[in-house]
Amino acid sequence: MCENFPTYIAEEFQEPLTEDEAALLSADDLTKLGKSRRDFLGKATLVAVAAQLLLHDQAFALKFMSDAPVTNNAVSELALTVKMTINGAEKSVVIEPNVTLLDALRERLQMFGTKKGCDHGQCGACTVIIDGRRVLSCLTLAIQAEGQSITTIEGLAKGTQLHPMQEAFITHDGFQCGYCTPGQICSAVALLDEAKRGEISYVSTNISKKPATSLSDDEIRERMSGNLCRCGAYPHIVEAIKEVLGGKAEVKS
Amino acid sequence: MSGLLGKPTKRIDGRAKVTGAATYAAEFPVKNAAHGYIVTSTIAKGKILAIDAKTAEKANGVLKVFTHENAPKLAFTDPKDKDNIGMDGKPFRPLQTNEIVFNLQPIALVVAETFEQARFAASLVKVNYQPETASTDFDKARITAVPARAKVEKPRGNPTEAFQNAPVKIEAEYEIPIEHHNPMEMHGAIAVWENGELTLFDKTQWVNNVKGHLASVFGIDPKKVKVISPFVGGAFGASLRPNYYPLLTALAARELNRPVKLNYTRRQMFTGHGYRPHTWQKVKISAEKNGKLTAIIHEAIGNTSTYENYTEDPASVSKSLYACPNVETIYKLAKLDLPTPLYMRAPGAVTGMFALECALDELAFELKIDPLELRLINYAEKDPDNGKPFSSKELRECYKQAAAKFGWAKRNPIPRSMRDGSFLVGWGMASGTWGAYQDPSLAKVILNVDGTVLIQAAASDMGPGTYTTIALIAADTLGLPLEKVKFELGNSEFPATPVHGGSMTTASVGTAVQNTAKTILKKLTAMADAPFKNAAEKDLVFENGKISLKSNPSLVVSLTDILRKNNLTKIEETGQGAPDKIRDNYSIASHGAQFVEVKVDEDFGTVKVSRVVEMTASGRIMNPLAAHSQEIGGAVWGIGMALMEATLIDHRYGRMMNNNLAGYHIPVNADIHDIHTGFVEENDTIVNALGIKGMGELGMVGVPAAIANAVFHATGKRIRKLPITPDKLI
Amino acid sequence: MNEFKYIRAADRSEAVSQVSNNAQAKFLGGGTNLIDLIKENVEKPSVLVDVSRLQLKSIRKTNGGGVSIGATAKNSETANHPLIRENYPLLSQAILSGASQQIRNMATNGGNLLQRTRCFYFYDTAMRCNKREPGSGCDALEGLNNYSAVLGWNEKCVATHPSDMCVALSALDAVVKVVNKDGKERSIQFADFHRLPENIPEKDNNLNEGELITSIEIPKSNFAKNSYYLKVRDRTSYAFALVSVAAALEMNGQTIKQARIALGGVAHKPWRAFEAEKILANAKAGDAIFTKAAEAALKDAKALEHNAYKIELAKRAIVRALKKAVDGGIA
């Protein structure tokens, strides 16, 4: 069943298999490649693949890599030197004013842990913590953060010991593709402090009084709603945060 | 076997993902990379009369502005220029002509020293168009639709007559708007040319496909193209094809003789790959008074572009789900001046099932039969489409367990009869189904003398947990602890694998890894001393890195000792896995049952999905921890599709207008409440030796219908046009 | 995003003079809206004058018994301040219904007042928009106007004001304090702060060129016990209002001494329903009078092609918010 996906890929579009590949597949398999229209996306399987049997590891990619922050060799007269503390270390970048903190982290400081999910303040993937408060680095100019103390996902673990929130996200499988995860975790870590301070949310009741610092599931959901997750890991994210809020998170050494 | 399969296992790439160390495509710190920024069209159809990039080229830091006037014409050594997800027609290739075929089409690429410079300069490119009237209004184009299938299919039985003569019948139309994948990572790539060889760091569900595509468009030997994609920040189908940016990135890098990095903006994500097409469906369904189905006539019309025919055949779900003697499915396409659609999570199935399962709910109401009971009355014991037995089908058990967990028996069938305070409560259900696909795949397994194992396969992991599952399969087969196994993927230099889509990666790559690991064990056994080398495989036990005899467990030899004795530092093997021919004798599919509770605030028309219970039968579950995540994710997708997702087009301009994550709503954390997922495991050795069916799509298939059915039960209003937003319910 | 010069103002007079002397200069607060608009090329300032570090952050009692909230205090800090939570829970609730915690942590109070519409056509420079490009036309009028205004619009502009905070401030009769380049201060009643489109839809408010918001004063009131901010949207959180209602009541037993109703998501400005308030004053609380008030509030509403639902939705939201307020609101 589910003959939903006819594809119209003619045989001649398929590049021939290498001899090595052909040898690996029995005659039956090769026939199957030609007629397996019943399968999702048809027979387009071992196509356009060559040199499969070369031994490689990913190290070859490393030859292109730069280990130092990229310098901007086209700095204009508008450029400024911006000093900030990032994950406890003093950092200095020379940038134009129109560079966001997100792009400064990623493209100038080579800190790619902070993610760009929309670049317009609509997804939360770029969440970092500045002076104890979670903010969006995509809507923060780097120059606005001058002199401030920034914590990114790279700064949460102490050496090899993960932050309890990081550990809880792994334990509860609070992610799939992982792209929103740094933002989710930074957001969740800041949420812990907000709860400690007795801060309220839109779903809080009796807001003129000091609320309990323990949070209901609905409170956690509302407070985490600034971080989109397209994989839909929300229930597991809530579980992870509950565990850490409840002080039950395992911290592995 | 070390009993690893089926136990909840934390992701082995988890640490990389929670520390920010996982490197996605545009994050490889390539030296001296210039930055690209795409300029898009502001008309949907017509021609570019003139494009003025002079001001842009003079802007600070700009290296070059590529347009159709100065971009090199591509080689296209494949005369029909198809990528392997290609369709009937001619794919869109950027900067090759002055023709505009959709709004927000790329018309220039600015490359500058920095991202900011490229972005600014992009705003300085001026264009003169000769616009033509564009057609993007599906409602108008629908009447021009033409048959989508190459051959007209004969109906089963005589559905027209059976429908006419039936005592109880439903005829209803259902509509689904264009929806977008919107993965969190925006598509991007970095291209590096070195001595005529191209390396592309890309976000893709199929490195092999991008490699073949780039070799063809540049007219170079595929051996000179490498595509690397170790992490994919969500895709859901959006990265099945190469899309247009890998080509643009590589083209600019080649012309400038310098690495180039390019990302779509979120707005560009709306036309930079495909989308779930706008679909109109009509279902005619009839039954005897006892609920026995007599006819289903399911017609679907979806949109495609003007230049390719995208097909996903939503109506075909009606052929096999229920035992019905008379069935006809019709599928047509309407061309619009939009980009070509593309497979989006559960393509076709979720669309078709929305219509079929809502229609069945309408029929149940008409018959005064419980919706679950109606499904059981028409349960297909064998595939009604071809008469073949199912290799396994635990759908009945899914219904049973899900209904029990949900408390379905307490449902009052009368709409508007259940309340929670001021909220109307509705209970609805639906079934889900998806194939259980497997394609041929290769894999390399290396066992080192230090006892570690390296697995390599081109493969991808866009989130389902491929890294962990494949490592589990290798460790389990070799009888080694998981910690010893490393799996490298997302590299076109590694042995080829099928596309990471259709929920078939674990079955396809897993089978190849299992076969190859077994070959390694066989070879090692042959290298071992007697009595091992003479023993039959069935008499041996592979456990804890050792081989022992079943008949005499005290006789043991370690795998690494065999290597040492033979003066080997490692043993490596590249092998294959392919679908077994026995599959052809069976109908092979996965199934599920979804039960949903909604709470509707009738004053405002707001719907809260307060509970979802989803039971899934998809063969054997390799890693329940990640498997639950996938099914939960599917339910969340179903909620988004049912309640909020729609791409809005201004047809005067043929332009998508809510092209961002504030305008295109996907569920937030606060939208998601209690979701219970569970598995009815099937011990299916026909589907493949590992018993894997796959589940990434399945989890969402029935959910939109179940929600719409629950909304009807809550409110008495049947909403047949998604999404069910406040304006439709108020 | 264009290139611009960045100046961090040392004090408010420097800030005001920098912006007053340059038509291409803009104040920068939290940046949550302005930076986005610059990325979209909707705004193209040549100079950004950062006022976010100016000492305009205090939240304190005024001599009149009200509360003054500083223009550069953050939205989240304001919502959580004990003075606001105790005296104006309506304002806390309204602020917290908007955006996300991250954005509320960045956004300043002054900046919130200056948010611009999220109308699709304003944001997309390929489209015609009188607000963005005066005289170019309004593509929303006959386009995707699902989210557009139903009150106070004209054929030049159908945009809505996106703020939640401002809806509560409107209901609370706040006063906006501003200073100009001569150091002269003036007060603007909240109802007069934002504008309807009329003939100059490009102008969102009645600030003069170069004027800087320094604080917002909320007068003393007795609404704390009976107020409610209700927001209806397409998803549960992190979305702009389809319709929102700030309802504040001063009760004497079951009798309404005084009522305030302001609507969000329905007009070019936060919309005060003065007539509805009059109907409620001195009336006994109950569904019938609430419905009457709601009808009065939407009496002049006119729907566009795709937003008629908002009129009915707004009426129902008014009734519900009033009920919630009578029931003790959220204080």
What ipTM was assigned to the predicted interfaces of this complex? 0.98
Query: B29 contacts in A (CB within 8 Å)?
Result: 65-67, 70, 110, 112
Confidence class of residue B150 from pLDDT cuts 50, 70 and 90?
Answer: confident
Q: Which residues, in sequence order, are bridge partners of residue B434? A: B590
Residue contact C79–A121, C-beta within 8 A: no
Shortest Cα–Cα distance, B638 to chain C (Å):
14
Confidence class of residue A249 from pLDDT cuts 50, 70 and 90?
Answer: low
Q: Which helix (H) or strand (E) holds B213?
A: helix B207-218
- In this structure, of A51-55, A229-233, B93-97, the range with the lowest mean pLDDT score is A51-55
pLDDT reading at A50 higher than 80: no
Phi, psi of B618 (to 5 degrees): -135, 60
- Rank A26-40, B714-728, C317-331 by mean pLDDT and report only the highest: B714-728
Residue B157: DSSP 8-state: S
Residue contact A133–C85, C-beta within 8 A: no
pLDDT reading at A3 higher than 90: no
Nearest-Å Rg of the Cα atoms of chain A is 25
Tokens of C193: 């702060």
Confidence class of residue A65 from pLDDT cuts 50, 70 and 90?
Answer: low
Q: Residue B497: CB partners within 8 Å, gap ≥ 6?
A: B208, B441, B442, B443, B457, B458, B459, B505, B508, B509, B512
The residue among A28 and B200 whose pLDDT is bigger is B200
**Residue B314 amino acid letter:** P
What is the pLDDT, as a whole number, of residue B344?
98
Helix, strand, or coil (residue A171) = helix
Query: A137 contacts in C (CB within 8 Å)?
Result: none
Shortest Cα–Cα distance, A70 to chain B (Å):
7
The residue among A253 and A226 whose pLDDT is bigger is A226
Shortest Cα–Cα distance, C45 to chain A (Å):
11
Shortest Cα–Cα distance, C1 to chain B (Å):
5
Residue contact B603–C2, C-beta within 8 A: no
Interface test with A, best of C100, C104, C232, C240 (most A CBs within 10 A): C100
Q: B150-158: list long-range contacts, CB under 8 Å, 24+ apart.
A: B150/A6, B150/A8, B153/B329, B155/B297, B155/B326, B155/B327, B155/B328, B156/B319, B156/B325, B156/B326, B156/B327, B156/B328, B156/B384, B156/B385, B157/B295, B157/B325, B157/B326, B157/B327, B158/B326
* d(C-alpha B373, C-alpha C96), whole Å: 46
| DSSP characters over B536-562 | -GGGEEEETTEEEESS-TT-EEEHHHH
pLDDT reading at A42 higher than 70: no
pLDDT reading at B183 higher than 50: yes
Interface check for A184 against chain C (CB to CB < 8 A): the answer is no
CB contacts under 8 A, C 38-67 vs B, are 39, 41
Interface test with B, best of C116, C236, C291 (most B CBs within 10 A): C236
Average pLDDT over residues B717-726: 98
Average pLDDT, chain C: 97
* d(C-alpha B404, C-alpha A33), whole Å: 43
The label of the residue with tokens 């409620």 reads C280
Tokens of C320: 């519900």
Confidence class of residue B3 from pLDDT cuts 50, 70 and 90?
Answer: confident
Interface check for A147 against chain C (CB to CB < 8 A): the answer is no
Asked whether the whole model's pTM tops 0.80, one would answer yes
**Residue B273 amino acid letter:** H
pLDDT by residue (tens digit) across B511-561?
999 999 999 999 999 999 999 999 999 999 999 999 999 999 999 999 999
Residue count of chain C: 331
Nearest to A170 among B11, B182, B588 (CB): B11
Q: Residue B454: CB partners within 8 Å, gap ≥ 6?
A: A57, B444, B445, B446, B448, B485, B486, B487, B488
Average pLDDT over residues B97-119: 98
For the beta carbon of residue B521, count every other beta carbon within 10 angstroms: 22
Classify residue B135 as left (phi > 0), alpha (psi -120 to 50) or beta: beta
Is the Cα torsion angle B419, B424, B425, B426 positive or negative in sign? Answer: positive
pLDDT by residue (tens digit) across C203-213?
999 999 999 99
* d(C-alpha B388, C-alpha B384), whole Å: 8
For the beta carbon of residue B79, count every other beta carbon within 10 angstroms: 9
Phi, psi of B660 (to 5 degrees): -160, 175
| DSSP characters over C238-273 | SS--SEEEEEEEEEETTEEEEEEEEEESSBSS-EE-
Tokens of A115: 């993610």
Shortest Cα–Cα distance, B666 to chain C (Å):
8
What is the pLDDT, as a whole number, of residue A15?
39
Q: Which residues, in sequence order, are bridge partners of residue B52? A: B126
Shortest Cα–Cα distance, C217 to chain A (Å):
19
**Residue B547 amino acid letter:** I
Cis peptide before B723 (omega within 30 of 0): yes
The residue among B380 and A46 whose pLDDT is bigger is B380
Interface check for A15 against chain B (CB to CB < 8 A): the answer is yes
What is the pLDDT, as a whole number, of residue B30?
95
Tokens of B258: 């310098």
* d(C-alpha A110, C-alpha A92), whole Å: 13
What is the pLDDT, as a whole number, of residue A205?
87
Interface test with A, best of C101, C222, C227, C235 (most A CBs within 10 A): C101
The residue among B76 and A150 whose pLDDT is bigger is A150
pLDDT by residue (tens digit) across C23-77?
999 999 999 999 999 999 999 999 999 999 999 999 999 999 999 999 999 999 9
- Count of alpha carbons within 13 angstroms of residue B656, beta-carbon side: 30
Confidence class of residue C330 from pLDDT cuts 50, 70 and 90?
Answer: confident
Residue contact A97–C5, C-beta within 8 A: yes
- Count of alpha carbons within 13 angstroms of residue B186, beta-carbon side: 24
The label of the residue with tokens 């001001």 reads B55
Interface check for A158 against chain B (CB to CB < 8 A): the answer is no
Nearest to B730 among C144, C146, C309 (CB): C309
pLDDT reading at A9 higher than 60: no
Phi, psi of A82 (to 5 degrees): -115, 125
Confidence class of residue A212 from pLDDT cuts 50, 70 and 90?
Answer: low
What is the pLDDT, as a whole number, of residue B137?
98
Residue contact B603–C316, C-beta within 8 A: yes
pLDDT by residue (tens digit) across B138-149?
999 999 999 998
Q: Residue A71: CB partners within 8 Å, gap ≥ 6?
A: none
Interface test with A, best of C102, C227, C229, C231 (most A CBs within 10 A): C102
Ranges of beta strands (E only) in chain A are 80-86, 89-95, 127-130, 133-136, 149-151
Residue contact A178–B626, C-beta within 8 A: no
Helix, strand, or coil (residue B669) = helix
What is the pLDDT, as a whole number, of residue A214?
83
> Is the distance from CB of B37 to CB of B253 less than 8 angstroms?
no
pLDDT reading at C152 higher than 60: yes
Nearest to B625 among A152, A153, A173 (CB): A173
Q: Which helix (H) or strand (E) holds B424?
A: strand B423-435
Phi, psi of A183 (to 5 degrees): -65, -40
What is the pLDDT, as a whole number, of residue B316?
96
The set of chains that have 3 or more CB pairs under 8 A with A is B, C
Cis peptide before B531 (omega within 30 of 0): yes
**Minimum Cα–Cα distance from A125: chain C residue:** C102
Query: B15 contacts in A (CB within 8 Å)?
Result: 162, 170
User: What residues of B are labeled active site?
Assistant: 697
pLDDT reading at B152 higher than 90: no
What is the pLDDT, as a whole number, of residue B366?
98
Helix, strand, or coil (residue B274) = coil
Query: C238 contacts in A (CB within 8 Å)?
Result: 225-226, 228
What is the pLDDT, as a whole number, of residue A52?
28
Shortest Cα–Cα distance, B308 to chain A (Å):
11
pLDDT by residue (tens digit) across B302-331?
999 999 999 999 999 999 999 999 999 999
* Helix ranges (DSSP H) in chain C: 12-20, 34-39, 75-80, 82-87, 89-97, 101-106, 109-113, 120-123, 165-171, 190-193, 274-280, 287-297, 309-326
pLDDT by residue (tens digit) across B441-486?
999 999 999 999 999 999 999 999 999 999 999 999 999 999 999 9
For the beta carbon of residue B557, count every other beta carbon within 10 angstroms: 19
* d(C-alpha B68, C-alpha B92), whole Å: 13
What is the pLDDT, as a whole number, of residue B725?
97
Residue contact B60–A74, C-beta within 8 A: yes
Distance of alpha carbon B257 from the chain centroid: 36
Inter-chain Cβ pairs, chain B and chain C, closer than 8 A: 88
Interface check for A68 against chain B (CB to CB < 8 A): the answer is no
Average pLDDT over residues B505-511: 97
Report the share of chain A in percent with pLDDT over 70. Answer: 67
pLDDT by residue (tens digit) across C229-266?
999 999 999 999 999 999 999 999 999 999 999 999 99
Q: Which residues, in sequence order, are bridge partners of residue B662? A: none
